[in-house]
A and B are shown apart, each in its own frame.
Chain A
Amino acid sequence: MFFLSTLEESIRLEPKDLDKPRADAISLVIEELFVDKIVQDLGLVVTLYDIVSIASGFVHHSDGGPRFQVVFRVVVFRPFAGEVIVGKIKRVSRAGLHVSLGFFDDVIIPEHYLQEESMFDEAEQLWFWKYVGEDGQENKLYMELDEDIRFKSKAVRFQAIPTPEELRKAREKDPLIGTAEKPLALMEVIGEVYSEGLGPVAWWMDDDEENEQMPS
């Protein structure tokens, strides 16, 4: 889920921050720019890990703030293909399930990646799995909101920030603009729950486990 990535950027300090210890002032700028932001084709930056090197500052013509060439490492969130992850079901629609990890909200389980024999209940607006038990009884196992769900990461999709030109051309329902309900997601994790052992965590727990406390 998480890995270290080395980045190199030109970091500019405000003149007012020049009296602070160099590394601290630079760390703050890096954190503002990168933490909780998506880096295209890399992933979501979780935290600044450390600073590897700071090259001496250059002051450009008519700019009071010096620029430093900084090499630093960040911890990045991006699931690897086939990684098994637990999240919470946040939204359900005909299109599938939207799962959140708390710090990351754009996990999608499209309806064709649900367990075979999954159906959408229009009245409840929820998906359920039609499961035939050993006794031949047909059970409807619902995938409830806020339930813990275990999924496997199939793919990670990145969306480039739209250019002003693209935004101008976009029509009302264009996914590039996004809506209040479905804002533009720069990074999406597509997951599947059709393998055995995937889906709501409660479905696969042994009987005695359900009574155990979740260890912290």
Chain B
Amino acid sequence: MAGTGTITSISAFFDRHRTACFLRQVLHERGAGDAKVGKARDSEIEVFKYLSTHSAGLRSREQIQNICEALKPFDLTQPEILQLVNLRPTNIVEIHLIVQECEARLDEARIEELLLIVKQHLGP
């Protein structure tokens, strides 16, 4: 396990931005991704595998903080921001899925802006 100092500061962050990509980093440190470091249990490796295929990869706290800043002007709720980071939508249909009452809150131009931000911060 990482030193207790790092964990207490990361945990407060985790609580607020409990994104899947952050969990992936935690599991990676436990040895889930690296056979040599391998102390992770089979089930933890399964979760790591899922996160590797389905979320934004290893992201530092600064990167996550940056995208939250960039998303502020859109007035999104916490669950909406969480899902944007976890799902990395690439088209309008996915945005409509994530943002409640999307037609009322975002016009097409805003949606394009949103997609661009997602691509810039979380792109391949």
B-contacting residues of A (Cβ < 8 Å)? 1-4, 27, 31, 35-36, 46-47, 49-50, 73, 75, 77, 80, 82-84, 86, 101-103, 150, 152, 195-198, 204-206, 209, 213-216
Instruction: Give the total of B residues in contact with A, Cβ under 8 Å.
Output: 38
Q: How far is the CA of A47 from the CA of B7 in the complex (A)?
A: 14
CB contact between A83 and one of B11, B53, B83, B124 (< 8 Å): that residue: B83
Q: A195 to B46, alpha carbons, bound, how many Å?
A: 29
Q: Are B91 and A46 in contact (CB under 8 A)?
A: no
Are B41 and A198 in touch, CB under 8 angstroms?
no
When the two chains form their complex, are residues A73 and B11 in contact, meaning their CB atoms are under 8 A apart?
A: yes
Q: How far is the CA of A11 from the CA of B87 in the complex (A)?
A: 38
Are A204 and B93 neighbours in the complex by a CB distance under 8 Å? yes
The smallest beta-carbon distance between A109 and chain B, in angstroms, is 16
Binding site for A on B (CB under 8 A): 1, 4, 7-8, 11, 14-15, 18, 20, 23, 26-27, 30, 41-44, 46-47, 49-50, 52-54, 57, 79, 83, 86-87, 90-91, 93-94, 96-98, 123-124
Question: Which chain A positions have C-beta within 8 A of B11?
Answer: 4, 49-50, 73
Q: How far is the CA of A152 from the CA of B54 in the complex (A)?
A: 15
- What distance in Å separates the Cβ of B13 from its nearest Cβ neighbour in chain A? 11
Q: Are A35 and B41 in contact (CB under 8 A)?
A: yes
Q: How far is the CB of B86 from chain A (nearest CB, A)?
A: 7
